[in-house]
Amino acid sequence: MYVRTLTLRDFRSWDQVDLELSTGRTVFLGANGNGKTNLIEAIGYLSTLGSHRVASDAPLIRLGANKSRLGATVVNAGRELRVDVELNQGSANRAQINRSPVRRTREILGITQTVLFAPEDLALVRGDPSERRRFLDELCTARLPRLAGVRADYDRVLRQRSALLKTAGRQSRSRSSQATELSTLDVWDGHLATHGAELLAQRLRLVHDLYPHLEQSYRSIAPESRTASIRYRSGYLLPEFLDPARDPQPEDVEVLAATMLSELAQARPKELERGVCLVGPHRDDLELVLGSAPAKGFASHGESWSFALALRLSAFELLRGMGTDPILMLDDVFAELDRRRRTALAAVAATAEQVLITAAVPEDVPSELEATPLRVETSGEADERTSHIADQVSPTTT
């Protein structure tokens, strides 16, 4: 799989981009702040409908514009598809496939598959559980695009149920009002368990499938270090479900839904008291382990980088195993890695169908990677500065 053309209008620092790309390796060269990462971010957005740098879409729209447009022509096994997204200030985003509008933007998921490694990935090891849940859910959705609908339904039910918990828990409410709200809460419990169980089942299957890739990837990066492993962490699931070596079964969804319903019933008094939902995949975590100790808090800086890199490389190998190479995007990471980690990452990049790299200077890219360099520059004054692609550098080894 590769992106043949990238089109941007009013995206970040770019007022206009019409870029042709090819298979192999391309490196966007430019000083920090010139907009090279924005190109990677745009392709990543078309893949996941989210940014690896910000939580909302508003910062993606160029200052002074009221909308942004992103588009790409994606080639997969000789078949071309055009995908476009319009980001709007104050209204719903819109999407097209082959210039035809789709009802929901999430219908474009699966057309563009990417694996991105960026400096922000250190948060996968050192950050909050939300970072690791996002990693799991984006990778689950890359493998099974329809899961985006399940995630959306779960988030909607969670918001509704949380709002009801806050209302029903108020002591000032009349008994009749509380009885009605508690009855309604039973209904929302059922919806939360239904959608949550499906999401849980896919996360558990992903951890099972990712486990051997992660162990091997980490060993190749840091052979002298302790063994790396992952384990799903949840306070309401039986230990047998949390064992990454356990092969998930089709009937797991029903068992997980029943488990969630039981736990929700037991947790209800505390939930009403606190006004928050205490049971569900929104509170789970992916435990990263080095030897017998959790990586978070115990791993050195180098070990943390190795673990983050191993997670991304194992995700790449997992998606590649489905029959198509995802697009590998490396955002200013070579400068952060030592020689061994640079070599391990370069070895994977050398085999990928398309690799998009950003770097401040050519020396940041390993010499063994032959890449076509494109110079990214900015022009203009102060807040009106915009990015542009300078004349293409000769396509020699960077």
Residue ranges of the binding site for ATP:
30-37
What does the alpha-carbon distance between residue 209 and residue 206 come to, in Å, rounded to a whole number? Answer: 5
326 HSE (CA, 13 A, CB side): 28
300, two tokens: 């050195």
174, two tokens: 């009349």
What does the alpha-carbon distance between residue 365 and residue 332 come to, in Å, rounded to a whole number? Answer: 9
What does the alpha-carbon distance between residue 49 and residue 42 come to, in Å, rounded to a whole number? Answer: 9
What does the alpha-carbon distance between residue 306 and residue 123 come to, in Å, rounded to a whole number? Answer: 12
Helix axes 147-168, 252-274, angle to 10 degrees: 30
Sign of torsion, CA 339 341 347 349?
A: negative
Give Cα separations from 226 to 143, 294, 303, 304 (angstroms). 30, 11, 9, 12
Ramachandran category for residue 67: left, alpha or beta (phi over 0 → left; psi -120 to 50 → alpha): beta
| Tokens 């997980």, located at residue | 256
Strands 114-117 and 327-331: parallel
